[in-house]
Amino acid sequence: MEIVIIICLALALYLLLRHYPDAKNFKLKINKEGIMKIVGKFSRKKAKVGAEIVAEIDKGHTEVVSPVEIEQAVADFDENPEIAEILCQAEKAAEENDLRLAEEKALQAIAKNKRCAKAYAIIGSIAYSRGQFQEAKEAYKTALKCNCNLGEAYFGLGQIDFREENFSGAIDFLLKSVILEKGHAEWYGELGKAHLEVRQYAKAAKALKRAASLDIDNKEYRELAAQAEEKQRSHSIYTRYR
């Protein structure tokens, strides 16, 4: 009896598939779609996990400081290795535009040394980036109280004066910055632009040519240096024949 029932069921299934061939395809389609959904879920989960891992790596990247960097920072910032490492982390975060982390690290450095000039200068730069110019000015001034030979604090104050169209004041600060540190193209560039504003073309050309030599790919510095030289020549001819 059981054999007869099995034979009948097999026959019924055969007839069903024969008369409705799509049934088999439908079944396969369901299975395939189900499998693809599972695979898709797994792939998405895998991609999400991968993205999370990358984000964690990127998040921690700013805090990775090599022994060589710490050694150089100790010399540059005149701080002990622990604070020098924190300042390096702050600078890296600022370079990657993570201003929150940069500020957090700078404040951490100040908590360990209340006269940490570099940390105040970093806070000044962060405030400037946020458009908080008065706060930036106060931070730079505090940095100079802690270290009167900190070039970047003079540069920051020069930038603020330039923005406020106090070009004479900007020149004074920017000139001090390049006297203290001679390797920054941007500092010479800003100094040259300030000299242009007050029609000191010879000094502008000199500063801008120096900026162009430090940053050879900067087209703006080359063009401004050429303009300054041309205005210097025109001004000299005009003065000679007056």
DSSP 123-168: HHHHHHHTT-HHHHHHHHHHHHHH-TT-HHHHHHHHHHHHHTT-HH
Q: List pLDDT tens digits, range 226-237.
A: 999 999 888 766
Co-location of 140 and 206 in the same domain: no
The average pLDDT across 30-56 equals 47
Average pLDDT of the residues of the chain: 80
Report the C-alpha gap between 109 and 21 in whole angstroms: 76
Q: What is the pLDDT at residue 10?
A: 56
Co-location of 181 and 216 in the same domain: yes
Instruction: Please report, rounded to a whole number, the percentage of residues in the chain having pLDDT higher than 70.
Output: 65
* 44 located within any domain: no
Q: Are 132 and 164 in contact (CB under 8 A)?
A: no
Banded model confidence at residue 6, pLDDT cuts 50, 70, 90: low
Domain boundary among 148, 170, 198: 148
* 196 located within any domain: yes
Judge whether residue 222 has pLDDT over 50.
yes
Domain boundary among 148, 180, 208: 148
The average pLDDT across 2-7 equals 53
Co-location of 88 and 127 in the same domain: yes
The average pLDDT across 194-212 equals 97
Co-location of 137 and 161 in the same domain: no
Q: What is the pLDDT at residue 27?
A: 44
Q: Domains in the chain: how many in total?
A: 2
Co-location of 144 and 159 in the same domain: no
* 167 located within any domain: yes
Q: What is the pLDDT at residue 234?
A: 82
Q: List pLDDT tens digits, range 144-174.
A: 999 999 999 999 999 999 999 999 999 999 9
* 3 located within any domain: no
Judge whether residue 49 has pLDDT over 90.
no
Co-location of 140 and 162 in the same domain: no
The Cα-based distances of 69 to 65, 75, 98, 106, 146 in angstroms read 6, 10, 20, 17, 23
The enclosing H or E element of 116 equals none
Co-location of 127 and 74 in the same domain: yes
The average pLDDT across 97-126 equals 96
Q: What is the pLDDT at residue 98?
A: 96
Judge whether residue 183 has pLDDT over 90.
yes
Domain that holds residue 85: 66-148
Please measure the distance between the N-terminal and C-terminal CA atoms of the chain and give it in whole angstroms: 129
Judge whether residue 67 has pLDDT over 50.
yes
